[in-house]
Amino acid sequence: MTTRLFGEPVLRVEDVKLVTGRGHYLDDLGHDALAAAFVRSPHAHARVLDIDVTGALDVDGLVAIYTYEDLVASGGAVADRLPLLIPHPALHAPRTGYPLARDEVNHVGEPVVMVVARDRYVAEDAAERIMVTYDFLPPVVGVAAARAADRCVHEDVPDNVAAHLKQEVGDVDAAMAAAPHTLELDLSIERSASMPMEGKGVLARWDAAEGSMRVYSSTQTSTSVRAAVAARLGLPLSKVHCIAPMVGGGFGVKIMHPWPEEVLVPWAARELDREVKWVEDRREHFVSSAHERGQLQTVQVGFDDEGRLLALDVRFWHDNGAYTPYGIIVPIITSTQLLGPYKPGAYRVEFWSLYTNTVIVTPYRGAGRPQACFAMERTMDAIAESLGIDRAEVRARNFITPAEMPYDHQLTFQDGRPLIYDSGDFPASLDKLKKLVGWEQTLAEVEAARAEGRRIGVGLACYVEGTGVGPYEGAHVVVESSGKVKVATGLTTQGQGHFTVFAQIAADELGVPLADVEVVTGDTRRFGYAVGTFASRAAVMSGNAVALASRKVRAKALRIAGDALEADPGDLEIVDGVVRVKGSPAASIPLATVAVLSNPLRYAFDEASKAATQFAVGDTSGPPVREDDEPGLEGTDYYSPVGATFANGMHAVVVETDPETAEIKVLRYCVVHDCGPLINPMIVEGQVHGGVAQGVGGALYERMEYDENGQLLNASFMDFLMPYASEIPHIEIDHLETRSPLNPLGIKGAGEAGVIPSAAVFASAIEDAEGFVITAMPISPSELFELRRRHVAGDIPSLRRAGSQRAGPDEVVAQDVVEAQTNQEKPT
Amino acid sequence: MKPSPFAYTAPSSLDEALAVLAEVGDDAKVLAGGQSLLPILSMRLAAPAHLVDINRISELAYVRVEDGGVRVGALARHVDVERSTEAHTVLPLLRQALQLVAHPVIRNRGTTVGSLAHADPSGEMTAVLALTGGSVEVVSSTGTRTVPAAEFFLGPLESAVAGGELAVSAHFPSFPERTGTAFVEVARRHGDYAMCGVAAAVTLDADGAVVSARAGYISVGPTPVLLDLTAAVSGASVTAADWAAAGELAQSQTEPEADIHATADYRRHLVGVLTARALAEAAGRAA
Amino acid sequence: MSTEARSTPGTADSDARHDVQLTVNGVPRGACVPARRLLSDFLRHDLRLTGTHVGCEHGVCGACTVLLDGAPVRSCLLLAVTVSGHEVTTVEGLGGPDDMHPVQQAFQECHGLQCGFCTPGFLTTAAAYLEENPDPTEDEAREAISGNLCRCTGYQNIVASVLRAAAITRDRQATFGHDTPGVSRPKVAGRPDEGGTTAGAGAGA
Ligand SMILES: Cc1cc2nc3c(=O)[nH]c(=O)nc-3n(C[C@H](O)[C@H](O)[C@H](O)COP(=O)(O)OP(=O)(O)OC[C@H]3O[C@@H](n4cnc5c(N)ncnc54)[C@H](O)[C@@H]3O)c2cc1C
Ligand code: FES
Ligand code: FES
């Protein structure tokens, strides 16, 4: 038997190309293309009064300058507002921008003028000489200012509220009133961003003779960019193709589309009948791509003497930036995924999505879940603290048990479908984590270290992640007459190893060697129907689609081989690319030959194809292609789930803070992860490592530092502090593999997992080390220093467990606590 | 993010360079390692009309032990200074500081004299020059002047090198006998510019008592700050000295400002903590 | 690239073109470019060696790291004209699919890359580092690559890759009794007389 590849740490097939410098990313294409650059707004909020391009006109190498007026003049939809991608009834005041500013700019970085020139150097020379006159408007920066609504972003949205959504399950007010204990928390979390190492980029080739457009974009969704370009340029879909070449990371920012440049670059290519390319530079990426995370939250929780949740009442204010092209997916996810592995009792969640004069907010890996996990896990720690119960124990008491699966939260999830957990064994996951960490022992060690004057703390956080959301993905699988298998799926790849993972699946299903399978993703010429790569959905959606399409091909191969071998297809197997009769392997036919036979021919073009020509094929009783059949050994199939499948994980971290400098050092980082059966454990662990690293960045280093004028003060890698290897700990991982009942492979998504609990787990650990409550993340040494001072001054109360004892369950002194932990609200 | 156009000259001798600089003067920028200048050009924060590239002037690529210290030529890369055994022998502080300058790959190209001329008050070598009481030799077609550290740094990113001039070398005098040195800093990430950094030198007498304790600071003012803290620890032995008191003394004499990475108070706090740590470490090496 | 003259008043001589001649991956290569052309752009667009990537253009990410006379440097912080006459080794010059450098092989074996965008910078940095320190500890390996940013991997497998590369180098030396392709001596990857058949020149074709 061929060894099964599913579950094996197969080395990635794409790597040889990538490590030898032969991968082609966007800017590696189109060397002769004209280059685009943009004049972007230097102001957060202003009216555009005048654009004077005369200074730029004599720049040698300049090809064209375009403003909004030119878009209008060219006619058609290109001058329209960019689309609202995901409408929602609660999004009552959606606003999107124009590809080039019409009369108003709403964040620093918004494109105002497009310049096309011989190369990027010259394009920047020209852009620099274009004078735009602005009339300043007062900017709204930060959630607090948006809430206060003394000023507004959009004149016709005076309260800055783009959306307001409330969901309630059970009677929260009654349950809260009846709860023996209640607590309130005020929390805040700041903006970060996906920040892939490769920025965005678009290359467009217009073929005037054919009237067709080929667009290359560094995108997470080529099918949808294609559709958007066709619509905006008034082209038939069949005349537009979009290809995502190798993409240097996405993490969410490239699922947003069409970016202004994705419309403008193809448009300019057609206007000029020249190839045009735009490659985003890092500064542009900071001020004109998307950010995420910023929220203010309040939590009120009611619980019993055991720490069991009775009522949970959450309100939060979400910063959606200047526009809402991606709808309100992020806050919806926060509001639903907040519940994690717990039964909340009665639950009410209400959010306001607010406009600010800052870069738009669209999903960044985790997509609202890190904020959700932060709210829930801070609450769990607060309950544990107030009752003096072990933090792991409080969580365990609130878990949904395996017997309760599938568990219906009676809420509506981000895909518009009911929030029903399909699988997971949370108690088992926690046990694994406690074992991995050595929970009791670590707590004891921390205690001992503390006695020596060191500040060490342990943190813990759990999450559940809805992955693999619909609507669907598909795959096309064909066995060529060479015996090679070509797989195409429409979603895109940004480093997740799809070329390998999908090949593993196809190879297993078809019984061919991995080396014979080649996978193509994100190329609409090869597969036109797809949604995109986001929400940890690729493996689940396309993985299952590849399996289903392969199964179709296999069935057909067995049928044709059965005819040729005069055997019952049920008695056949495919091993190493050869179809053979089980038990008598001598009776066999290579899959390559089956492929030849599947396509009846009139003309032979090589030795192999002779076998399928009209005088070679024996059976003349029926038509060469049967009525219910098609030529070719190929199949297409789709996977469309009834709902998301829910992965989960639990993280623990041990940190040490410097008593003097307030530097925060990570001593250990442990992960238990359940994404169902692992297709390729090496790749899954890589995804977890990467997520954790982004999480460490988000918790301890990264934030978007806007000043009150809406200027982003740290728009460079010098000051936006993504961690280097020196900042990332060694990560210890263990897996639990509970199958999803929802899909044929039983798998769940893994892409976002690592990043979700970071803010929560670090807050938990730093709080433990410091002995006072942490309510705002991220946290820097400077901020920790300021918190310490306020703690010493009595502005921030000590944890009860601080000092000598960490109360075990026996020492519980249950007490009614209504603590308003409002003391650390941060200016936003 | 591409530089504006500029005229470019790459002289191969010092004389040639001075002639070009005399001609293009104020509109010109000197290009040394480019590790600070290129980002500035690419972000178009500066657009000099002329760039005078000194990378071909091999006569300036040296690290020498001379005049009771180390003389570093304008084309000596940070890595050359860091790895020079002779320099390390007479002045260990150079290597102690350079290992905190950026990352090795930046040090392969960036020059030590360039980082002085750049006069970034967060640059480690500015404090080293200040603490050693060093000087920079600045030449132009009309002559040579030796500018002492105290007069070299005029403000953030502003040194005493004027248009038409070239800083050809820096001299870092070594310390008296029984002096130990240390460089201690706190940066957000490994290799980043520090939020506060302290270069310290402690000199003991033959009996092991402190006779001098001085420190140079980065990132706490518009230029590197040099403080004599001997008063707080004078006469004490290495183990008995109250380094924290020296830290407090330093705090009382610095006025750091806030930026996005650190509040002013946190910086001042670091001045105290790092002063004590750096002096203690330096004293340990002096003993 | 053509060498057309510039005519814009005021920028005519300031954007004059300079003849830049380099030895890239052992092969003499040249082009006539304005002085402001960054080495990264020169390699990628003038010579069409796109293996070197650009992630920030201000010296922080390290994706653009190449070897200049054997030592790793940021190609986005160098003008092409400054290094005319020198030797440059890019990722293409470390080794090709059939003669991978130990670091290239190790990155594949240890899953040291995901999107692969940062990878060329890590490979060149690690290759040069291992020449100096062929047997690093885990901490040293981590330190060695700590001036390069990767947004995908969390670095753990990159650290493992550096250690693995050291082991592969030792194995190859034990097996073949000689050195593996040396990065400061990029002769294996591309001798001038091998012309267009070498990895470096081939990828530019
Ligand atoms: C990512 C990164 C991190 C860094 N981190 C640090 C750090 O932590 N600490 C630190 O100290 N530095 C750091 N640096 C800067 C680095 O040390 C620079 O190399 C150094 O500051 C400037 O040296 P250079 O030779 O590259 O000068 P250049 O960049 O060539 O020049 C800098 C300035 O000095 C002028 N100049 C240079 N040489 C002369 C001369 N001989 N005569 C007259 N004028 C001259 C130039 O005209 C220019 O204005 C970092 C750089 C980068 C890219
Ligand atoms: S592109 Fe050169 S260091 Fe980032
Ligand atoms: S592998 Fe994607 S940035 Fe490193």
Which element (helix H / strand E) includes B24?
A: helix B14-24
Q: Answer yes or no: is the C-beta of C64 below 6 A from any ligand 2 atom.
A: yes
Query: Is there a domain that residue C152 lies in?
Result: yes
* A722 → chain B, closest CA residue: B189
A134 interfaces chain B, CB cutoff of 8 Å: no
Q: Answer yes or no: is the C-beta of C151 below 6 A from any ligand 3 atom.
A: yes
Please report the pLDDT score of residue A749 as a whole number: 85
Q: What is the Cα–Cα distance from A324 to A214, expressed in whole angstroms?
A: 28
How crowded is residue B189: how many other Cβ atoms within 10 Å of its Cβ?
18
A425 interfaces chain B, CB cutoff of 8 Å: no
Q: What is the Cα–Cα distance from A197 to C151, expressed in whole angstroms?
A: 6
Residues A463, A757 contacting (CB under 8 angstroms): yes
Query: Is there a domain that residue C189 lies in?
Result: no
Backbone angles phi, psi at B55, to 5 degrees: -70, -10
A127 SS3 class: helix
Please report the pLDDT score of residue A718 as a whole number: 96
> Ligand 2 centre from C63 Cα, in Å?
5
Query: Is there a domain that residue C10 lies in?
Result: yes
Tokens of A683: 């790749």
Chain B residues with CB-CB distance to C74 below 8 A: 35, 105-106, 109
Expressed in angstroms, the distance from the first to the final Cα of chain B is 51
Domain boundary among C93, C128, C155: C93
- The whole domain housing C127 covers 102-176
B74 Cα nearest atom in ligand 1: 41
C1 SS3 class: coil
Residues B243, B280 contacting (CB under 8 angstroms): yes
Query: Is there a domain that residue C204 lies in?
Result: no
Q: Give which of C73, C75, C124, C149 to mutate to test B binding, by max B Cβ within 10 Å.
A: C73
Expressed in angstroms, the distance from the first to the final Cα of chain C is 14
Please report the pLDDT score of residue A753 as a whole number: 82
Please report the pLDDT score of residue A340 as a whole number: 96
Class of domain B7-51 (CATH, top level): alpha beta
Residues A283, B1 contacting (CB under 8 angstroms): yes
Looking at chain A from residue 756 to 785, which residues have their Cβ under 8 Å from any Cβ of chain B?
780-782, 785
Q: What is the Cα–Cα distance from C168 to C160, expressed in whole angstroms?
A: 12
Q: In what order do the strands lie in the sheet with A455-467?
A: A455-467, A645-657, A664-674, A731-735
Domain coordinates of chain B in residue numbers? 7-51, 62-173, 179-286
pLDDT at C5 over 90: no
Residues B101, B115 contacting (CB under 8 angstroms): yes
Using alpha carbons, list the distances in angstroms from residue A264 to A78, A99, A101, B77, C155: 8, 7, 12, 45, 37
Among C65, C81, C147, the residue with its CB nearest the CB of B191 is C147
Among B5, B103, B105, the residue with its CB nearest the CB of C36 is B5
Q: Residues 6 or more apart from A308 whose CB is under 8 A from it?
A: A345, A397, A398
Q: Are residues C52 and C114 in the same domain?
A: no
Query: Looking at residue A742, what DSSP letter applies?
Result: S
- Cα dihedral B222, B227, B232, B236, rounded to 10, equals 140
Using alpha carbons, list the distances in angstroms from residue A289 to A261, A496, C191: 11, 22, 44
pLDDT at B186 over 90: yes
> Ligand 3 centre from A198 Cα, in Å?
9
Query: Is there a domain that residue C182 lies in?
Result: no
Q: What is the Cα–Cα distance from A591 to A559, expressed in whole angstroms?
A: 12
Question: Rounded mean pLDDT of B248-274?
Answer: 97
pLDDT at C1 over 80: no
Q: Answer yes or no: is the C-beta of B166 below 6 A from any ligand 1 atom.
A: yes
Q: What is the Cα–Cα distance from C177 to C170, expressed in whole angstroms?
A: 10
The position carrying tokens 């002329």 is B50
Structural domains counted in chain C:
2
Q: Helix H segments across A438-537?
A: 439-451, 498-510
A333 SS3 class: helix
The b-or-e profile of C24-57 (16+ CB within 10 A means b, else e) is: bbbbebbbbbbbbbbbbbbbbbbbebbbbbbbbb
Using alpha carbons, list the distances in angstroms from residue A625 to A213, A551, A560, A591, B45: 35, 21, 12, 19, 69
Among C34, C41, C71, the residue with its CB nearest the CB of B108 is C71
Q: What topology is assigned to B62-173 in CATH?
A: 3.30.465
Q: What is the Cα–Cα distance from B118 to B126, expressed in whole angstroms?
A: 9
Q: Are residues C89 and C124 in the same domain?
A: no
Q: What is the Cα–Cα distance from A242 to A253, expressed in whole angstroms?
A: 18
Q: Residues 6 or more apart from A633 whose CB is under 8 A from it?
A: A478, A479, A553, A556, A557, A560, A591, A594, A595, A598, A599
Using alpha carbons, list the distances in angstroms from residue C203 to A335, C45, C51: 50, 12, 9
Please report the pLDDT score of residue A553 as a whole number: 96
Q: Give which of B38, B106, B186, B257 to mutate to test A binding, by max A Cβ within 10 Å.
A: B186
Handedness of CA A302, A308, A311, A315 (dihedral sign): positive
Q: Are residues C9 and C84 in the same domain?
A: yes
Q: What is the Cα–Cα distance from A221 to A259, expressed in whole angstroms?
A: 12
Q: Answer yes or no: is the C-beta of C150 below 6 A from any ligand 2 atom.
A: no
Please report the pLDDT score of residue A806 as a whole number: 42
Query: A178 — alpha (psi -120 to 50), left (phi > 0) or beta?
Result: alpha
CA atoms within 13 A on the CB side of A297: 33
* Extended strands (E) in B81-188: 135-140, 143-148, 153-155, 158-159, 166-173, 179-187
pLDDT band at C179 (very low <50, low <70, confident <90, very high): low
Q: Answer yes or no: is the C-beta of C54 below 6 A from any ligand 2 atom.
A: yes
Q: Residue A578: name the closest of A487, A503, A485, A483 by CA.
A: A483
CATH classification number, B179-286, choose in 3.40.50.170, 3.30.390.50, 3.30.70.100, 3.30.450.20: 3.30.390.50
Q: Residues 6 or more apart from A605 whose CB is under 8 A from it?
A: none
- The model's pLDDT over B32-67, given as tens digits with 9 standing for 90+, comes to 999 999 999 999 999 999 999 999 999 999 999 998
B39 Cα nearest atom in ligand 1: 53
Please report the pLDDT score of residue A615 as a whole number: 75
Using alpha carbons, list the distances in angstroms from residue A39 to A478, B4, B125, C159: 47, 16, 38, 41
Ligand 3 pocket test, pick from A197, A253, A493, A722 with the greatest ligand atom count within 8 Å of Cβ, gives: A197
Domains of chain A and any CATH numbers: 32-137+200-247+254-288 (3.90.1170.50), 295-469+642-816 (3.30.365.10), 470-639 (3.30.365.10)
> Ligand 2 centre from A220 Cα, in Å?
24
Contact A701 B262 (CB under 8 A): no
The position carrying tokens 């901020």 is A783
DSSP letter for each residue of A605-652: -STGGGGGBTTT----SS-SS-TT--SSSEEEEEE--SS-EEEEEEEE
Contact A197 C152 (CB under 8 A): yes
pLDDT at B151 over 80: yes
Q: Give which of B2, B105, B190, B195 to mutate to test A binding, by max A Cβ within 10 Å.
A: B2
Q: Residue B191: name the closest of A721, C127, C77 by CA.
A: A721
Tokens of A422: 């399909």
Q: What is the Cα–Cα distance from B202 to B175, expressed in whole angstroms?
A: 9
Query: A96 — alpha (psi -120 to 50), left (phi > 0) or beta?
Result: beta
* Amino acid of residue A694: Q
The position carrying tokens 């021919």 is A601
Instruction: Compute mean pLDDT per 10 residues along chain A, 828 residues long, and list them.
Output: 79 95 97 97 98 97 98 95 96 98 98 98 98 98 96 97 97 98 97 97 98 97 96 97 96 96 98 98 97 97 98 98 97 96 96 98 95 98 96 97 94 90 95 96 93 95 90 94 93 89 94 95 91 78 92 95 92 95 90 92 83 76 85 94 91 97 97 92 92 96 97 97 97 94 87 91 97 97 97 94 44 35 39
Please report the pLDDT score of residue A618 as a whole number: 67
Q: Residue A226: name the closest of A258, A274, A254 by CA.
A: A258
Give the CATH number of the domain where residue C85 resides.
3.10.20.30
Please report the pLDDT score of residue B284 as a whole number: 96
Q: Are residues C87 and C110 in the same domain?
A: no
Q: Answer yes or no: is the C-beta of B111 below 6 A from any ligand 1 atom.
A: yes
A80 SS3 class: coil
ipTM of the complex model: 0.96
Among B5, B39, B106, the residue with its CB nearest the CB of C14 is B5
pLDDT at C202 over 70: no
Q: Are residues C64 and C109 in the same domain?
A: no
Residues A66, A38 contacting (CB under 8 angstroms): no
Contact B260 A785 (CB under 8 A): no
Helix axes A758-770, A369-387, angle to 10 degrees: 30
pLDDT at B260 over 70: yes
Least confident of A572-586, C66-80, C117-131, C143-157: A572-586
The position carrying tokens 């990430």 is B189
Please report the pLDDT score of residue A354 as a whole number: 98
Ligand number nearest CA of B28 is 1
Query: Is there a domain that residue C191 lies in?
Result: no
Please report the pLDDT score of residue A508 as a whole number: 94
CA A202, distance to chain mean position in Å, is 21
Among C58, C63, C154, the residue with its CB nearest the CB of A716 is C58
The b-or-e profile of A446-455 (16+ CB within 10 A means b, else e) is: beebbeeeeb
Residue A646 pairs in a beta bridge with A466
Q: Are residues C130 and C81 in the same domain?
A: no
Expressed in angstroms, the distance from the first to the final Cα of chain A is 61
Contact B266 A663 (CB under 8 A): no
Query: Is there a domain that residue C163 lies in?
Result: yes
Residue B180 pairs in a beta bridge with B202
Q: What is the Cα–Cα distance from B59 to B76, expressed in whole angstroms?
A: 10
A121 interfaces chain B, CB cutoff of 8 Å: yes
Give the CATH number of the domain where residue C121 resides.
1.10.150.120
Looking at chain B from residue 166 to 225, which residues have their Cβ under 8 Å from any Cβ of chain C?
190-191
